[in-house]
């Protein structure tokens, strides 16, 4: 893996965070800290506020209470374009590419904040990392398969060599093999090279495999948090997220 694709991480902290739409809190009183070199995953049932939490961290959903910080800098309610300049790369769960734009144009938009003369070399670096994208540079993003599209979405955020990666269900709708490769090879790889990774993942087992810390969200609140090996011993967690059978193994 090319080290230069992402930068050494920064600490991303949410403190007592409440966020939601039209003044109505979807997540309430959430505390999360993602540190460099680690993958922090957030799991929970549908509607528990996982995506809303991530969106509030990157400025897409308003924070109603509490703070968001990068290192010591308070970035609460910063505009998304401002958050991007601070080295935070965000891949949403859906609508993660620009469908009418070609793969190359998607990457160029990913590198929008770069000096013009650096864009081509960054694209080369991203293509080294995702060589399959090379063959489809002139293809419109809307025509890509699920896996290719996710690769492009990741490639787009890597254009700015982010120090913090915020990923919302990156394996959604992917074939199991592709999903495993994405999680274990790429996403874990970013953390191993020093980046900070905050990940929402529906498949708890897979998330636990690559995480250093996991938070369980329920009803918009953190109901459980811990290292994966501890959570795997928690009967309630096992029953709810790993399937009852796992507890008996």
Partner 1 sequence: MSSFGFGLMTAAVLAIATVGFTMQFAVTNVLNLAYGSVMINSAFVAYYFNKHGMNAWITLIFGVILGAVVSWALNKFVFTPFQRRNLAPITVVIVALGVDLIGTFGLQAIVGGGYVSFSVSSGREFHILGMFLSGMQLIILAICAVVLTLVHWLLKYTRLGKAMRATSANPNLARNSGVKTQRVISTTWLISGALCGLAGTIFAMNTGVFEATSAQLYIVMLLAAMFLGGPGEPYGAMFGALTIGLATEISAAYISPQYKEVVAFVVLLGMLTFRPYGIFGSEKTN
Q: Rule CB under 8 A: is residue 92 a binding residue for partner 1?
A: yes
Answer yes or no whether residue 121 interacts with partner 1 by CB under 8 A.
no
The residue count for binding partner 1 (CB under 8 A) is: 28
- Round to whole Å and give the CA distance between 62 and 80: 11
- State which of residues 84, 123, 164, 224 lies at the interface with partner 1 (CB under 8 A): 84
- The reply on whether position 97 binds partner 1 by CB under 8 A is yes
Determine if 81 is a binding residue for partner 1 (CB under 8 A). Answer: yes
Residues 143-172 close enough to bind partner 1 by CB under 8 A: 156, 160
| 3-state percent breakdown (helix, strand, coil) of the chain, nearest 5 | 40, 25, 35
**Pairing relation of β-strands 213-218 and 39-43?**
parallel
Residues 6+ apart with CB under 8 A from 39: 187, 188, 191, 197, 199, 210, 211, 212, 213
The rounded distance, in Å, linking the Cα atoms of 57 and 45 is 20
Measured between alpha carbons, how far is 144 from 184 in angstroms, rounded to an integer? 22
Please identify which residue in 46, 72, 95, 229 interacts with partner 1, judged by CB under 8 A.
95
83 lies in the site for partner 1, by CB under 8 A = yes
The nearest distance, CB 48 to partner 1, in angstroms, is 21
98 binds partner 1 (CB under 8 A): yes
Q: Which is closer to partner 1, CB of 173 or CB of 180?
A: 173
Instruction: Map the footprint of partner 1 across residues 200-239, applying CB under 8 A.
Output: none
Among 110, 147, 170, 189, binds partner 1 (CB under 8 A): 110
165-186 burial code (b ≥16 CB/10 A, e <16): bbbbbbbbebeeebbbebbeeb
Task: Determine which residue in the list 8, 16, 74, 99 makes contact with partner 1, applying CB under 8 A.
Answer: 99
User: Residue 152 CB, nearest distance to partner 1 (Å)?
Assistant: 12
**Which residues contact partner 1 by CB under 8 A?**
58-60, 79-81, 83-85, 90, 92, 95-101, 105, 108-110, 112-113, 116, 142, 156, 160
């Amino acid at each position: 893996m090319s080290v230069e694709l992402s930068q050494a991480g920064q600490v991303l902290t949410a403190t007592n965070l409440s966020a939601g739409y039209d003044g109505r809190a979807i997540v309430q009183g959430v505390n999360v800290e993602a540190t460099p070199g680690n993958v922090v995953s957030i799991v929970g049932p549908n509607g528990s506020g996982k995506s809303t939490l991530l969106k509030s961290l990157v400025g897409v959903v308003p924070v109603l209470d509490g703070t968001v910080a990068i290192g010591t800098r308070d970035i609460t309610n910063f505009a998304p374009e401002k958050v991007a300049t601070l080295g935070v790369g965000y891949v949403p769960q859906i609508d993660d590419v620009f469908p009418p734009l070609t793969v190359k144009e998607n990457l160029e938009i990913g590198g929008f904040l770069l000096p013009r003369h650096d864009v081509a070399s960054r694209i080369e670096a991203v293509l080294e990392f995702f060589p399959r994208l090379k063959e489809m540079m002139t293809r419109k993003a809307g025509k890509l398969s699920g896996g290719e599209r996710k690769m492009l979405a990741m490639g787009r955020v890597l254009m700015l060599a982010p120090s913090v990666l915020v990923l919302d269900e990156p394996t959604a709708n992917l074939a199991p093999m592709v999903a495993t490769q994405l999680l274990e090879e790429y996403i874990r790889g970013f953390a191993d090279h020093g980046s900070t990774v905050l990940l929402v993942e529906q498949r708890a087992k897979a998330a636990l495999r690559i995480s250093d810390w996991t938070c369980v969200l329920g009803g918009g609140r953190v109901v459980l948090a811990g290292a994966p090996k501890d959570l795997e011993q928690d009967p309630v967690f096992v029953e709810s997220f790993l399937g009852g059978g796992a507890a008996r193994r």
